[in-house]
Structure 1
Amino acid sequence: MASAGESFFEGAEKLLEVWFEFDDDSLESSLRSIDRKVWEDLLKVVKCEIISRTADEDMDAYVLSESSMFVTKDRFILKTCGTTTLLYAVKPLIKLVKEKCRLKQILDIFYSRKNFSRPDLQIGMHRNFSDEVSHLDKQFRNGAAYSLGRINQDCWYLYTLDNAGVERPDQTFELLMWDMCREKMRVFTKDVSENGLDATKRSGICDIIPGAKIDEFLFEPCGYSMNGLLPGGYYITIHVTPEEEFSYVSFESNVPRESYDELVKKVLEVFRPGKFLMTIFANKASVAKDCHKEINDAESLQGYVRQDHQFCIFKNYNLTYTMYSRPIL
């Protein structure tokens, strides 16, 4: 994390999620059978490293120097901020899984990110979404790329596969927030909080989804990352870039909800952003598949006014994109 006033830090993350299908249910046919050292080598390609690991029956969760990584039996999630080179890891990731596990096929891939504040500081293909798409198209024959929101202002990019995808219930909820409340952000500095646990308690993060097994880290002199695990293969992850000049916070979870209204309210109360965009991915088997109907009617929310709203139907997933901001007084 950059200290305030010294240099710019890009809080907006690149998010990659890959679902694999294996030939059998043996222990070798699991991403969790891959050694930590192997993951560390893969992350060198991305230009980040592991800080800590926590696990439960269903998932391994890693706090990284730049965000997080989650590994289940058949799903890999990598979320990295700053000037990391995430997409350079896709080809070696697939090669690794073929070598270490009995890979049958890739069921689906999701790559997404908000538009960067300083794309000129990114490395190689990551300066431009079109270049990222070209890189992915060389590896996947049926890729589909989308841009939601206002391309001349704030928007959100997505690359996925044009196929049936994952059949069991799956959903992902994201809140990407910026223009953050200065007082709320002070909690995520060493001037106010002693460590990650202290910041988790002071901020109220521990109360957003009670009962999560939390692993957190407070950076020096500021910045915060956390992973939380819940039974059933569910997770939450939060990342905070508190510097006033480029403040940014992300919240992500795959916890299933018929409505995310209460969860949104809790997150907004903890962080109080000036602007935020919300995305909800849910496949046809998910209880969240129809939550877009509620969001469609929410022209205002907790003191925020809706700026953009889009709903997309893919072969097996519904996607809702909505952006809100505080009204200009």
Structure 2
Amino acid sequence: MAVSGFEGFEKRLELQFTGHDPVMGTGLRLLDFESIEQVLHLVQCTVVSALGNQHFDSYVLSESSLFVYPTKIIIKTCGTTQLLKSVQPFINLARTLNLDIVSVRYTRGSFIFPQAQPHPHTSFHEEIMYLEDNIPDHLCYRKASVIPSKLTSHSWHVFSAGAMEYSGDVPYTVEVCMTELDQTLARKFFRYPNDGKNGDSAGKEMTEATGINRINPNSQICDFAFDPCGYSMNGLDRDCYSTIHVTPEDGFSYASFECIGSVHTDMAEMVKKAVKVFGPTTVSVATTGACHVPAVAIETVTMKIKTAVEQLGMKYRSCSMDELPAAGRWCFRRLQLAGKEYNNMRGARVHAR
């Protein structure tokens, strides 16, 4: 493991608003780009590419992604960004559109380089305290949880606060974190020096060469390749999004895949395709759904994902569940490359270093 490197694990923030009949269903989409840029400046990231459809706007950031729906903002950032500094500015901007905050959800995995994180991300306790200080009192359904696995380095951190109990209209959200990527596959996310391409054109080539465009063939894809390495993409499929982010450097390689969908979405197949693109040693899958959905329904989704990923040589290691009144029911699973395949891959990576 490298002494230091780029932090791939993202911090994810979801803000839900309500108000008096947003104009023609546009709501938060009326926010001007300059105002959005000012918030991103506080977080310490910028927009590198953008795409929208009739349902929402999608932004690829220098560190991950931003999605803006009429009454919802989802932003996830990696590296040493200060994501939580966007909470109060986004709430204030929404008020200018007569939209009030009704729920806040913050999630992240366990950082690879926690000592490199700045305020307010030096610890989960500090993050909770910062959120408590920057959200209004009427968000009274609050809970923080660290959902464990058998490895303390693969825990899932969740904080939620809401004005009412969660009853999300999108049944499932899946967040997948992958570490120790296969070196050969990870090399596909490096650019040749002086390749004469910009981030957009290089990103499109990576999307096609790696098969990312086949994960969900129905998606419009907004992609970007960084120099000298790294890749991000947002997929737009009607009112659902998917997103991928890659930190391919050996020693701290990481990739993430996130998607939302309904009970009709074959999430297991999409997750399987995403994992196959990267060949990771360890896969962590966090699945959440509305509390009114029976626990067995969430378990069914995660079991289907587990079965699909096991077909790639992964082995189930742990599973934990929790329920947050303002964020729904969570299931967190960890899988690892099994047996001989794991030992061979680990040996190859050590030898390569």
Q: Equivalences for 1:229-268 in 2 at 5 Å? A: 229-231=236-238, 233-257=239-263, 260-268=267-275
Q: Equivalences for 1:190-229 in 2 at 5 Å? A: 190-191=191-192, 195-229=202-236
| Aligned match of 1:88 | 85
1:50 counterpart (16, 39, 47): 47
* Segment drifting more, 300-309 vs 34-43: 300-309
Q: Equivalences for 1:301-320 in 2 at 5 Å? A: 301-302=310-311, 303-315=313-325, 317-320=328-331
CA 1:102/1:228 → structure 2, altered by over 3 Å: closer, same or farther?
same
Q: Equivalences for 1:1-20 in 2 at 5 Å? A: 8-20=5-17
Q: Which amino acid aligns with 1:311?
A: M
The answer to whether 1:156 aligns with 2:156 is: yes
* Segment drifting more, 285-294 vs 44-53: 285-294
Give secondary structure in 1 for the equivalent of 2:244: strand
Give secondary structure in 2 for the equivalent of 1:138: helix
User: Could you give the per-residue CA deviations for residues 195-235 of structure 1, whole angstroms, max 9, x where no partner exists?
Assistant: 0011001110000001211110110000000011111x111
Counterpart CA distance in 1 for 2:92 and 2:80 is 24
Q: Which amino acid aligns with 2:104?
A: I
Give secondary structure in 1 for the equivalent of 2:79: coil
Counterpart CA distance in 2 for 1:53 and 1:253 is 18
User: Could you give the per-residue CA deviations for residues 177-204 of structure 1, whole angstroms, max 9, x where no partner exists?
Assistant: 0010001111111139960011001110
Gaps of 5+ in 2: 341-353
1:67 counterpart (43, 47, 64): 64
Counterpart CA distance in 2 for 1:215 and 1:292 is 32
The answer to whether 1:137 aligns with 2:132 is: yes
The answer to whether 1:178 aligns with 2:179 is: yes
* Segment drifting more, 201-210 vs 139-148: 139-148
Q: Which amino acid aligns with 2:289?
A: A
The answer to whether 1:78 aligns with 2:75 is: yes
- Aligned-pair RMSD on alpha carbons? 2.6
* Segment drifting more, 50-59 vs 294-303: 294-303
Counterpart CA distance in 2 for 1:234 and 1:34 is 21
* Segment drifting more, 284-293 vs 194-203: 284-293
Q: What percent identity do the matched residue pairs reach?
A: 31
Check the 8 A contact 2:287/2:302 in 1, yes or no.
no
Q: Which amino acid aligns with 1:145?
A: A
Higher helix share: 2
Give secondary structure in 2 for the equivalent of 1:90: helix
Check the 8 A contact 2:167/2:292 in 1, yes or no.
no
TM-score where L is the length of structure 1: 0.90
Aligned structure 1 segments of 4 or more residues deviating by more than 4 angstroms: 284-289, 296-300
* Segment drifting more, 6-15 vs 267-276: 6-15
Counterpart CA distance in 1 for 2:94 and 2:111 is 30
CA 1:32/1:288 → structure 2, altered by over 3 Å: closer, same or farther?
farther
Check the 8 A contact 2:147/2:321 in 1, yes or no.
no
Higher strand share: 1
CA 1:93/1:149 → structure 2, altered by over 3 Å: closer, same or farther?
same
Q: Report how far residue 291 of structure 1 moved.
A: 3.7
User: Could you give the per-residue CA deviations for residues 29-79 of structure 1, whole angstroms, max 9, x where no partner exists?
Assistant: 700000011100110000001111100000100011111100010010111
Counterpart CA distance in 2 for 1:213 and 1:288 is 32
CA 1:296/1:216 → structure 2, altered by over 3 Å: closer, same or farther?
closer
Check the 8 A contact 1:225/1:239 in 2, yes or no.
yes
Gaps of 5+ in 1: none
Q: Report how far residue 328 of structure 1 moved.
A: 4.2
TM-score where L is the length of structure 2: 0.84
The answer to whether 1:273 aligns with 2:280 is: yes
CA 1:69/1:289 → structure 2, altered by over 3 Å: closer, same or farther?
farther
* Segment drifting more, 20-29 vs 302-311: 20-29
| Aligned match of 2:113 | 118
* Segment drifting more, 36-45 vs 133-142: 133-142
Counterpart CA distance in 1 for 2:226 and 2:132 is 36
Counterpart CA distance in 2 for 1:168 and 1:257 is 11
Aligned length: 323
Give secondary structure in 1 for the equivalent of 2:169: coil
Q: Report how far residue 260 of structure 1 moved.
A: 3.0
